[in-house]
Amino acid sequence: MKLVRRAQWGAPATSAASPISRTRGVKVHYLGTAYASRAHGTCDDKVRDIRSSHLNHPTEDYSDIAYNLLVCEHGYVYEGRGAGRRTGANGSSTLNSAHYAVCALLGSSGLTKPTPAMLHGIRDAIEYLRERGAAGTEIKGHRDGFATTCPGPELYAWVKRGAPRPAAPGKPGDQPSRPKPPAAPRYEPFPGPGFFVPGRRSPIVTAMGRRLVAEGCGRYEIGPGPAWSEADRRSYAAWQRKLGYSGAAADGIPGKTSWDRLKVPNT
């Protein structure tokens, strides 16, 4: 993830926006005005312009730039309000409390189609908010809940497909190499049948969680339980990143190599 911290692009190091403990997920936005492709060296100028326009808005009374994170066409992720701060971009107080906001530097004219680097950056931003801000699994567009065309047809179509990472050059498809944990029952050859089924008792999940906590990768608020949960996925993703995996390879789904290295005891 190519993260540009607030102080690096010219904002105060800490946002004045209200704190928030968790959200149901993330909503994706675009600028909604004309925007032209530019050299990366001027992307931070645009982020500063957005913050200035928000702070000087005559009626909204913004405390900071409205978005939690912003992503340029080159795949860099700019820290706006950041994780753990309520957004001001989703349309109402209720909507702002339900989801974080990630804005693509993409226009309604000019640059309207997201680049592969931008899509990777948006996925990085979503995973960052899940990891650092307890964002849930929902990925939606601004228009899902508020009457607007945001985030534009190209970006919204991608959101509706599940916001997949672009395929690497020469590889077919645009889905991650390993699937996300599903809500419906699924039986996997590894780590074992029933492992990923929410609500089904599986002592090996609890044992895994304890090992993740011991490795400093636990992302649990209460503690590892007997059934697979989103907290387990976030914790396992932290373990994968600790091993050096990134992107789709750090999706929080156990693979044999990372599982063997975790050394989960048999139960």
Cβ atoms of 26 and 100 within 8 Å: the answer is yes
Please give the average per-residue pLDDT across 137-162, as a whole number. 95
Q: Which fold has domain 2-160?
A: Lysozyme-like (3.40.80)
Q: CA neighbours within 13 Å on the CB side: how many for 159?
A: 26
Instruction: Return the percent helix, strand and coil in the chain, to nearest 5.
Output: 35, 15, 55
Say how far apart CA 56 and CA 67 lie, in whole Å.
15
Alpha-carbon distance of 19 to 83, in angstroms, equals: 9
Which residues have C-beta within 8 Å of that of residue 212, sequence separation ≥ 6? 218, 224, 232, 235, 236, 238, 239, 262
Does the pLDDT of residue 123 top 50, yes or no? yes
- pLDDT for 11 equals 94
267 confidence band (pLDDT: 50, 70, 90): low
Among 42-46, 142-146, 202-206, the range scoring the smallest mean pLDDT is 202-206
The residue ranges of DSSP E strands in 76-201, in sequence order, are 76-79, 99-104, 109-110, 135-141
Read off the pLDDT band of 194 (50, 70, 90): low
| Residues facing 144 on adjacent strands | none
Mean pLDDT of 230-251: 87
pLDDT at 184 over 60: no
Q: Which CATH class is domain 176-267?
A: mainly alpha
pLDDT at 193: 64
How does DSSP classify residue 81?
Answer: S
Q: What is the pTM of this model?
A: 0.65
Beta strand extents in 73-131 (DSSP E only):
76-79, 99-104, 109-110
pLDDT at residue 260, rounded to an integer: 87
The answer to whether the Cα torsion of 237, 242, 245, 246 is positive or negative is positive
Do residues 253 and 147 touch, judged by C-beta distance below 8 A?
no
**Domains of the chain, residue spans:** 2-160, 176-267
- Nearest residue to 9 via CA among 55, 70, 56: 70
- Please compute the mean of the pLDDT values over residues 64-92 and round it to a whole number: 96
Q: By mean pLDDT, which of 86-100, 165-179, 230-244 is the weakest? A: 165-179
C-beta neighbour count of 141 within 10 angstroms: 23
Q: What is the pLDDT of residue 169?
A: 60
Is residue 165 over pLDDT 70? yes
pLDDT of 3 above 60: yes
User: What is the mean predicted confidence (pLDDT) over 174-203?
Assistant: 56
Instruction: Report how far Cα 139 is from the mean position of its chain's Cα atoms.
Output: 8
The helix/strand/coil state of 49 is helix
